Amino acid sequence: MRRFIGFAVALLILAADQGSKYLVLHQLHLWDGHVLVVLPVLDFVLVRNHGITFGMLAGTASKVILAAGASIVVLGLFVWLWRTKSWLVTLAVGAIAGGAIGNVLDRLRYGAVVDFIHVHIGSIAYPWVFNVGDSAIVCGVIALMLDSLFSKPPVAANEGEG
């Protein structure tokens, strides 16, 4: 049951990611660089990331390579999801997989990842524009780090014999 919930989390994140990008691209009619103030600390700014973090590896041929590499990572995440026995890891890996799939679909459909969330307090701003899938990936990674820090290591069967 747990693993199916992990896959459901991945689908939920994927739907939220792609749905939010659809709204930004087709309903809000944002164009590249246009700023839509949503809240005093939140703007929507359409940015197309042709590379990876900071736009590294941007180029026409790299979009297929990046999409293929990310797809392999997603397959690995699904194997991990299938094998895990921890609820926190299940949810975290599901969130990471859903966000990664959303970004892969962007690369294949648009040639770039669609980013639009810009968080700031006055002139102090988070340095990157991101999307729902990116947020899920970051939250999933933080959850995995917390799980790693606070989970007890398994006790070996022969430990204590001596």
For residue range 99-135, list pLDDT tens digits in order. 999 998 998 898 889 999 999 998 888 878 999 999 9
From the list 43, 106, 134, 147, the catalytic residue is 134
State the average pLDDT over residues 26-44.
88
Predicted confidence at residue 71, as pLDDT, reads: 81
Pick from 74, 87, 83, 60: nearest CA to 13: 74
Instruction: Please give the residue that has the higher pLDDT: either 40 or 70.
Output: 40
Q: Which two tokens stand for residue 47?
A: 């940015």
Instruction: Please give the residue that has the higher pLDDT: either 82 or 88.
Output: 88
Predicted confidence at residue 65, as pLDDT, reads: 75
Q: What is the DSSP letter of 25?
A: I
Instruction: Identify whether the C-beta of residue 105 lies closer than 8 Å to the C-beta of residue 66.
Output: no
For residue 26, give the H/E element and its range. Answer: none
Identify residue 109 by its one-letter amino acid code.
R
- 134 noted as active-site residue: yes
Rounded to the nearest integer, the mean pLDDT of the chain is 85
Predicted confidence at residue 159, as pLDDT, reads: 61
Predicted confidence at residue 122, as pLDDT, reads: 85
- 17 noted as active-site residue: no
From the list 17, 43, 106, 115, the catalytic residue is 115
Phi, psi of 124 (to 5 degrees): -90, 115
pTM: 0.82
